[in-house]
Chain A
Amino acid sequence: MLYAVLCYNSEDVTSAWTKEQDDKVMRDLTSVQRKYVEAGKLGPVARLLPTTAATTLRHRPGETVVIDGPFAETKEQLLGFYLIDCTSLDEALEFARELSGANPAAGSYEIRPLSLYKPGELAP
């Protein structure tokens, strides 16, 4: 089963990381991913730019509105995501648990099964 693992953290906190702290978190997260990569289970991994770089298109029948930033103002923001192929929810949870161990910021990992996946042609 394919799962998306969506990472939510407080941007206030992650943006207060120093470059050294940020680099360390990225290194630690990469080493968590390694065994999943080697097992051929890990798909695309993405880190998103700050929500200040975001734009939202809202639409209702007959009109669209473009707004700056994410639509909902929340305490935690979607800052990145993984796609992973797991045999069970437990395995996906274990992956998320390992990621959380490498990430010092409080937050949450939403584990969301996919209903459609098209890998696309985009080469990195």
Chain B
Amino acid sequence: MTDTAWIDLALVSARPRAMGALLRYFRNLDLAEEAFQEACIRALKTWPTNGPPRDPTAWLILVGRNSGIDRVRRQSRETALPPEELLSDVEDRESELADRLDGAHYRDDILRLLFVCSNPVLPATQQIALALRIVSGLSVKQIARAFLVGEAAMEQRITRAKARVAAAGIPFETPDATDRAERLAAVATMIYLVFNEGYSAMNGPDGVSADLCDEAIRLSRLLLRLFPAEPEIMGLTALLLLQHSRARARFDAHGAIVLLEDQDRQLWSRPMIAEALAMIDKAMRHRRPGPYQIQAAVAALHARAERPEQTDWEEIDLLYRALERLQPSPVVTLNRAVAVSKREGPEAALALVEPLADRLSGYFYFHGLRGGLLKQMGRVREARVAFDRAIALATNASEAAYIRKQLDHLAGDVDASGFVQRQR
């Protein structure tokens, strides 16, 4: 690690807590961000010579707060803002500040910061971008790269998101139990979105997309440290860990998706699986099942099977049934159809899949699964049509490459059986 790498790390790890506190003081996202930025610049200047402060987070909050106040004062000379009344807790001193960090106070600060980025008024893409910028501190350039858009476009997206958040109003009152539960649920969704953004754009174990997955896991653990007794946050953390544990096995050398049953299970990350299984055990004790816990339990059954044929499809079927009751959705039924196909064969699964056509006709996996089932049943021509639909709906090269492989197999099968002529 280089000389300043430890400072970068300290700044990254202090960020959520410091930004949360600064947002509480200034009640303005831009101002909080600028104040934190200023504190980071001072840290980079003074820490190499003076050494790290006893409590880097408290230091950053204090310095950030002071520089923010300066900025507001400077601005207020030009425009008649009413800054002082808006600034809460200006009388804090560092010792008090450090005490407060240890109190329950910071939990709501961080939750508020996360919630601001998860505000349901924001479309998913804006939530993700804002969280990565504000909470994780990724640069606009890094985020733009993760989304495969230009820097200017991303800058604009974030600016728009901030304006929306400001217009919606940032909640500053201390949340009661109901508010807190709602905020937690919104934040969990946002973290899941960040993960999914990385997960679905991934085409190999490394790169920007994998970084997004790591970041989502970090945020999820952070949330769980703040709210250690929330089974759904345990479920979320476990789910993300289990999905990410397969990162190295999900793609072949050409970047095409490798299906779960074809993956080399030696490549799955054992420490991530161990952590996730521990989390699921903990969550079960609370006897308050929820969608994340159920999905994590499904993923855990895959993780526990050393070979694909050891997978407990019956239990997976039951879990998806539970999820259908809790959170009915055609996508859940589609997932259950996979379990049904393993237990009862492709016919039964297809019977479950066909009625979803109306609602899932624009969904890649619907046509992919349907094609796979038809292929198993030897209905080659229909399988080809389904795969063609799927390929047209693929959102990335890995999905398309996987379907192309299926089509190639199909062509091979057809040639071998000689029933149908290859269609070009």
Which residues of A line the B interface, CB within 8 A? 10-13, 15-19, 21, 24, 49-53, 55, 66-69, 73, 75, 104-106
Contacts and interface: CB of A to CB of B under 8 A. Distances in A.
Contacts of A50: 221, 275
A55 B218 CA distance: 20
Contacts of A67: 228-229
B5 interface: yes
B260 interface: no
The 9 closest A-B pairs by CB, nearest first: A69-B228, A53-B278, A16-B13, A12-B13, A68-B228, A52-B224, A13-B13, A68-B229, A104-B1
Interface of B: 1, 5-6, 9-10, 12-14, 17, 52, 55, 102, 211, 214, 218, 221-222, 224-225, 228-229, 234, 237, 271, 274-275, 278-279, 282, 285
Nearest to A24: B1
A24 to B, nearest CB: 7
Given A52-B234, A104-B1, 15 more contacts: A12-B13, A12-B14, A16-B13, A19-B214, A49-B274, A52-B279, A53-B282, A67-B229, A68-B228, A69-B228, A69-B229, A75-B55, A104-B5, A105-B6, A105-B9
A15 B221 contact: yes
- Tell me the interface secondary structure of chain B in the complex: helix
B20 to A, nearest CB: 13
Contacts of A18: 211, 214
A90 B271 CA distance: 34
A60 B271 CA distance: 34
A27 B211 CA distance: 21
A10 B57 CA distance: 12
A66 to B, nearest CB: 7
A104 B224 CA distance: 25
Contacts of A68: 228-229, 234, 282
8 contacts: A10-B13, A13-B9, A16-B13, A16-B218, A21-B1, A21-B5, A66-B285, A68-B228
Contacts of B5: 21, 104
A12 B282 CA distance: 21
B2 to A, nearest CB: 10
Contacts of A69: 225, 228-229
B275 A104 contact: no
Contacts of A12: 13-14, 17, 222
A49 B275 contact: yes
Given A53-B279, A67-B229, A13 B10 contact: yes
Contact of A16 (B9, B55, B228): B9
A45 to B, nearest CB: 15
B285 A104 contact: no
A55 B282 contact: yes
Contact of A11 (B6, B214, B225, B285): B225
Contacts of B17: 12
